[in-house]
Structure 1
């Protein structure tokens, strides 16, 4: 599954808003179009957003060079356009900073502008390839934690659609299946955007992995019945102490998992760590449009004019998390120590 990729015609993405009813691919030719695709959830999932932003920057720089614009000023404008799309996913800002470092290095080397543009395309493609390899490593580490015959609960979509390919939380499940383990999955529907219902179930069914869709308010019921053996979710930003921002509703699942003594794992690349934040209190939480709550596929399900709160993410406190699975290994409490070690590669 190719969630996002660079092509000669532009950045090609699968439109996740129309899945599973339609498998529609769109090609974007400007950085502004890529930014709008991120903003409107055509592309979603923290790692995929980072990859798409890198591609968008490469598109913008190539166009600016062709137009003869002042390149440093144009580059800053392009980066600001990408940074303004969605505030919570730190992978977005990680990708922007990586492209910025490459740009500044090339400028310092007095590289011709046409070659700068091509080098930034190559850098974005490297980010794309590295994300797939990273997810496979996350899967390998996480699969060791999943016992044969387990039923795994996941929330939202942290699969191939949320990354350049393979997935983080679903990558753990895929890797366990590839090891020959018999794994079944319970997928929360994930209101209000229904990423679990529309995307996670579609991915798993494509792979032939047994999956049962449940409403968000059913998780505790099935935990109490002993139907769920562990929880694996993704992340959009992880603070230095292990507090983790993920799709709204994740905190509720973590509380239920602790009540029923079920392991709760977070699967995410090291690029999702934000060690500049001591705790999750500093993670910005995106608020999204009321219509996502009051409508489903443009069909109203609530009274017109009702007041709506629609935070897209919540923060799960570190003391509810059993372990954080990264491409460099699994971090365990105390996360203030283990996460810094993983980030440093030690």
Structure 2
């Protein structure tokens, strides 16, 4: 099943706001419809947004205003702007050239997710993972780090228990996904003991989407309240934390769903490897550090209500950052479709 695709002259995508109650496919024929789908999170996840951006340019008819509005629909995830720019560069060559580029980006995302799943699973099962920070300048220089040590995988037959947050499976990409794609590969190899999925407040992507995907793949899993993550890490029994990224700065700082930073702190305290899984396209060498990443605030409504039910008294305001930034010194390794960056 593909999260997003081009079908008979339109963008078709799964409406993720309707899950897990029903799986509904939207047919998008205009840029404004696509922008609306992006802003209300009918389509989300950095790789999927990159594909959406590229396909959206094919819908734009070359209108520069529509392309600009699409590019700015969500500011934190670098893949959206990247996908728009890649496709828009071919506008002078005509719509067919734009569409060909967008479909290539779609196909490259599928291949990248397969590669990340294999590389991440190899890293976790081969005993090559050691705690510690990524090399600060490794991303900007384009050279991977090096090193080996202990970590998960020392028992060659043991299943691994993974903790994750938000949704990083096929719903966040075209197929399979990033961090959850690694868990899927482990499951296919018979090496996954369990996934502990954070519920992911306030929109519950972990409860609504990740649990749905894990159930579909038949992988053992349990939901965990967000605030319980660091405590469970301290108790032991978690082999690694796997998360995605919406943007990776040149020094290795990463922006991901709010709550990721707390997991990174808990993992560092507990000595549990903290692994970021994201495609190379998520690396933004133009942003030197995480301090330069624009963090989207999605307003009070998502905090004070849940699916139309008010949770807080009328008039209650809220702060609602959709993402946080994990400093590179809390990251054990970054797994991309091309390399592993580690101490």
Gaps of 5+ in 1: 62-70, 107-115, 334-346
For the 8 Å contact 1:9–1:27, the answer to whether it is kept is no
Q: Match of 1:12?
A: 12
SS at match of 1:82: helix
* Further displaced range: 139-148 or 36-45: 139-148
Pick the aligned partner of 1:139 from 114, 117, 121: 117
Distance across 1 between alignment mates of 2:310 and 2:197 = 25
Q: Which whole-Å deviations, capped at 9, do the CAs of 1:129-184 have from their partners, x for residues lacking one?
A: 11010010011110012234110000100110000111000111111222231331
Q: Match of 2:86?
A: 98
For the 8 Å contact 1:169–1:267, the answer to whether it is kept is yes
Distance across 2 between alignment mates of 1:131 and 1:264 = 23
* Further displaced range: 52-61 or 245-254: 52-61
Distance across 2 between alignment mates of 1:259 and 1:275 = 29
For the 8 Å contact 2:276–2:334, the answer to whether it is kept is yes
Distance across 1 between alignment mates of 2:243 and 2:90 = 32
SS at match of 1:81: helix
SS at match of 2:76: coil
Shift of 1:278: 1.2
Q: Match of 1:22?
A: 22
Shift of 1:18: 1.3
Aligned length: 311
Q: Does 1:247 align with 2:225?
A: no
For the 8 Å contact 1:238–1:245, the answer to whether it is kept is yes
Higher relative contact order by CA 8 Å / sep ≥ 6: 1 or 2?
Answer: 2
Q: TM-score, normalised by structure 1?
A: 0.88
Q: Match of 2:326?
A: 316
Q: Does 1:78 align with 2:56?
A: no
Shift of 1:9: 5.0
Q: Match of 1:119?
A: 97
Q: Does 1:182 align with 2:192?
A: yes
SS at match of 2:13: strand
Q: Which whole-Å deviations, capped at 9, do the CAs of 1:63-103 have from their partners, x for residues lacking one?
A: xxxxxxxx5xx2x2222011121000000111111112222
Distance across 2 between alignment mates of 1:292 and 1:270 = 31
For the 8 Å contact 1:240–1:278, the answer to whether it is kept is yes
Q: TM-score, normalised by structure 2?
A: 0.88
Shift of 1:225: 2.0
Q: Which whole-Å deviations, capped at 9, do the CAs of 1:224-259 have from their partners, x for residues lacking one?
A: 221311100000000011000000000000000000
Distance across 1 between alignment mates of 2:230 and 2:31 = 43
Q: Does 1:267 align with 2:277?
A: yes
For the 8 Å contact 2:163–2:195, the answer to whether it is kept is yes
Gaps of 5+ in 2: 125-152
For the 8 Å contact 2:278–2:335, the answer to whether it is kept is yes
Distance across 1 between alignment mates of 2:35 and 2:321 = 20
Write the mapping of 1:186-335 to structure 2, written as runs, cut at 5 A.
186-333=196-343
Pick the aligned partner of 1:88 from 76, 87, 90: 76
Q: Match of 2:52?
A: 52
SS at match of 1:17: coil
Please report the RMSD computed on the Cα atoms of aligned residues, expressed in angstroms.
1.1
Distance across 2 between alignment mates of 1:292 and 1:307 = 11
Q: Match of 1:32?
A: 32
Q: Match of 2:148?
A: none
Shift of 1:221: 2.1
